Amino acid sequence: MKKIAILIAITGLFIFASNQEAQAQCKQQRVYHCARKGGNAIYLRDFNTKLKAVRSERSINGTKWPVVLNRGTRYRFILCTPSGFANDVKLTLFDSKHPETRPWNSTEKSGGNMFDFICKRSGVYYVSIRFKQGKGKRKTCAVGILSFVGKNQ
Amino acid sequence: MIAFSKNLIMIKKLIFIFISVIFFASCGDGGDDDTIVGPDSQDDVREVQIDPEKINGLIESFPSPIEMAATIEDLRVPYSKKYLVPTEVAADFDSNFEKALGLGMLSADLGYLNVYARKNAIVEYLTSIKRLADALDVDQFFEFQTLKRLATNSNNLDSLMFLSVSSYHDMDEHLRKTRRSNLSALMITGVWTEGQYLACRVNKFKSDKSTEEIIAGQKDILKELLSVLEFFDDKPKFKKMNDQFRELLKLYDNVEIKLVEGEDKISYGLDSIPVIEPGEHTEIIYTQEDLDKIQNKVIQIRNNLISL
């Protein structure tokens, strides 16, 4: 009986541990390396998310965050993913007038893993990180970085 | 028969343990991605009926403590320590209200010191922030020893800046996750107020169109901030502070922010990074008198807040 108890406890712990792993965001080290890709731009904040495998079109795919941007500032958005996922994930910048389906920009739209945005209106914008359509068969994590390039005078 | 019964009980216990483990495992972090937390508890442990999704979203959206400092440095404004909250004043913050507000203000000041690379003052401000973080029970997210080591090693200023800002965001996130959004709201208020105070002081020292527009252009952001703070209007300290921000917002009545349509532009910098410049932009219309009133009020509010 004791053996059965030990077996159940170990199985339970394994399930618990593997579940935690599956839900994990990217590690801080990846966030730091991603922030450094911005060159001289100053790190402002990160958008760190887990991406669950997409099994159907109705699956929850990715995360969105609100972010206040200031008029006259040039911002840099960078997307980093673990190796093997570079072409599967996109970062999108949008707002209420330019919804996610018609965004200001995305890494998918402009190509590459970063773009700059010169803010011309102070207010709340949104950043999302999601699998591109048809991708996302495997779970992963992704990091977006917002950094300050300079005032656009 | 007795042995069989004992075994049955044991099996039942094991099944219960197994189900419990599975249950807790599935509870881990498996909610929807746009995670929110429930209603906040206040200083006096009363619960306030608020929309947690709305308030956390608003708080989360607020600018980083380093952004205003980076803007000021980018405008080539000379460094001055006299703009910052004196650390001896911060040592007197005694209620959680003051500490959370002070944590935001000092984080903005630390951002300022970071962008101007003032190592000695950085250590002094790190020590003050550590004290406040300890008192608010968020010190586990503030890596004081690492930050101090980075501050004393001039080669690691980028890492210092990164860790300072990410520690701030981690403390803020932890407060929201532990149902202390009232303190988180105070942190962003501290960051915003100190940032505006810095901009106003800099503009009074050397007036500049860019700095003026930063100050005058805060009308909509101040409205956002007030929409967060007004969730806590039933608390006397919040009410007193919010009244001051409402007076400030009133001074923005004459400031007009006009939206102008235009053609979007995409260009490529020297580093081949695509640059998006929206055609749609805002024009900020204000008089010098409006600006002076706003600046004086910001300075007054900030000074009132540090002498609570």
Predicted local distance difference test score (pLDDT) of residue B152 = 87
Out of A4, A122, A146, whose CB is closest to B14? A4
B63 close to A (CB below 8 A): yes
Answer yes or no: is B4 within a domain: no
Size of interface A-B (CB pairs under 8 A): 159
Q: Are the Cβ atoms of A71 and B213 closer than 8 angstroms?
A: yes
Residues, chain A, total?
153
Residues of B whose CB is below 8 A from A64: 34
CB B121 within 8 A of CB B109: no
Q: Is B291 exposed, middle or buried (0-12, 13-18, 19+ CB in 10 A)?
A: buried
Predicted local distance difference test score (pLDDT) of residue A5 = 55
Contacts of B13 (CB under 8 A, 6+ apart): none
- Per-residue tens of pLDDT for chain A, all 153 residues: 555 555 555 445 444 444 443 446 788 889 999 999 999 899 999 999 999 888 776 666 889 999 999 999 999 999 999 998 988 999 999 999 999 999 999 999 988 999 999 999 999 999 999 999 877 888 999 999 999 999 875
B26 close to A (CB below 8 A): yes
CA distance B49 to chain A (A): 23
Answer yes or no: is B43 within a domain: no
Answer yes or no: is B26 within a domain: no
Residue range of the domain that includes B234: 52-256+287-306
B261 close to A (CB below 8 A): no
Which position has the token pair 């320590």? Answer: B81
Answer yes or no: is B39 within a domain: no
CA distances to A47, A99, B62, B271 from B55, rounded to whole Å, are 18, 21, 11, 39
Tokens of B213: 């527009």
Residue from A51, A18, A76, A77 nearest A142 by CA = A51
Answer yes or no: is B134 within a domain: yes
CA distance B73 to chain A (A): 9
Contacts of B295 (CB under 8 A, 6+ apart): B200, B203, B204, B215
Say how far apart CA B174 and CA B47 lie, in whole Å. Answer: 18
Say how far apart CA A106 and CA B274 lie, in whole Å. Answer: 11
Residue from A13, A143, A151 to probe the interface with B (highest B Cβ count within 10 Å): A151
Predicted local distance difference test score (pLDDT) of residue A3 = 55
Answer yes or no: is B15 within a domain: no
Say how far apart CA B67 and CA A133 lie, in whole Å. Answer: 34
B49 close to A (CB below 8 A): no
Q: Are the Cβ atoms of A74 and B275 closer than 8 angstroms?
A: yes
Orientation of helix B236-251 relative to helix B288-306, angle to 10°: 170
Answer yes or no: is B263 within a domain: no
Residue from B10, B204, B207, B198 nearest B105 by CA = B198
Domain total of chain B: 1
Q: Where are the beta strands (DSSP E) in chain A?
A: 42-51, 63-69, 73-80, 89-94, 105-106, 114-118, 123-131, 140-151
Model ipTM value: 0.81
Residues of B whose CB is below 8 A from A115: 273-276
pLDDT beneath 70, residues of chain B: 1-51, 154, 308
Residue of A nearest to B259 (CA): A121
Going by the DSSP 8-state scheme, the letter that residue B41 receives in this structure is B
pLDDT tens-digit map of B20-47:
444 444 333 333 333 333 333 334 333 4
Out of A8, A73, A111, whose CB is closest to B14? A8
Q: Are the Cβ atoms of B34 and A4 closer than 8 angstroms?
A: no
Answer yes or no: is B271 within a domain: no
CA distance B268 to chain A (A): 9
Q: Which of residues 137-166 of B touch A (CB under 8 A)?
A: 158-159, 161-162, 165-166
Residue from B27, B67, B257 to probe the interface with A (highest A Cβ count within 10 Å): B67
Predicted local distance difference test score (pLDDT) of residue A27 = 85
